[in-house]
Structure 1
């Protein structure tokens, strides 16, 4: 049985934006198995300075990530798209066990197969320590509510 994850390529602006929001919601679940289900069995990843292949590696990576990145909340925004590729900007906030908060800024490039599964993900990410009072993503853990502004509404540069 072939797993399918709509929307499928070729993307238009509406389907690309929906794909981004679905990915954001999955990552905000902090469920490594759910997230990994959107990728091909042999999906190739670059995340910061880590390179790995396959769903098993994706699950292990995400488990490690969310063990140290506590109270994780993410917002993604569509940057550009072509037939089977999407570029995304994102920000997320988390705190470490010692209580220090961070905001991570990043860009991702995604490539999909015909079934809507991501076969390649490359992510460049920078972390900035912030005070708890500087946090922007204050919704309850889980998916970002529709009424909460995404990063496209927060502006760029005015409030790094």
Structure 2
């Protein structure tokens, strides 16, 4: 299989954590085409009230998202897992075109195929306006979260 995306199911705690961090790093790249490669060609999503299917729809969605959500930085944390499913909680910070800052909180439920590609993603997300001084996520926006940056739990989020 050329589309293998390790770690592969069945997940252990360690491999589920690695899968979550790989997803976080991908999303922090803000590269829709790169991110879409982690999903099956016919992946199904629910993101808030929007329903998507397939990589082309994922790329279009993420392109719109990151045009609107500027200076985006995300932290994901494992919540639970089974053989081929992972649940995460996450928070991300971003600003709108008018300069207002937000922290978005959410939960995602993921299902994977045998090749480690995500075939389902269900996301529930809430946005909270924050002052710029309330931001916690300050790493260089051109790369992943540094390994020594606090987790959501360590930040009290």
Aligned to 2:149: 148
Aligned to 1:54: 54
CA distance in 2, matches of 1:134, 1:155: 13
CA distance in 2, matches of 1:57, 1:125: 19
Q: Flag structure 1 segments of 5+ consecutive residues without an equivalent.
A: none
Say which SS state the counterpart of residue 23 (structure 2) adopts. Answer: helix
Aligned to 1:45: 45
CA distance in 2, matches of 1:155, 1:114: 35
CA distance in 2, matches of 1:24, 1:34: 12
* Offset at residue 153 of structure 1 (A): 1.1
CA RMSD of aligned residues (A): 0.7
CA distance in 1, matches of 2:153, 2:13: 15
| Larger displacement relative to structure 2 (105-114 or 141-150) | 141-150
Say which SS state the counterpart of residue 59 (structure 1) adopts. Answer: helix
* Offset at residue 26 of structure 1 (A): 0.3
When the two structures are superposed, what TM-score results if normalisation uses the length of structure 2? 0.98
CA distance in 2, matches of 1:150, 1:75: 7
Say which SS state the counterpart of residue 25 (structure 1) adopts. Answer: helix
* Offset at residue 52 of structure 1 (A): 1.0
Whether 1:71 aligns to 2:71 is yes
CA distance in 2, matches of 1:154, 1:130: 15
When the two structures are superposed, what TM-score results if normalisation uses the length of structure 1? 0.96
* Offset at residue 152 of structure 1 (A): 2.0
* Offset at residue 154 of structure 1 (A): 1.1
Number of residue pairs matched by the alignment: 156
Aligned to 2:135: 135
Aligned to 1:124: 124
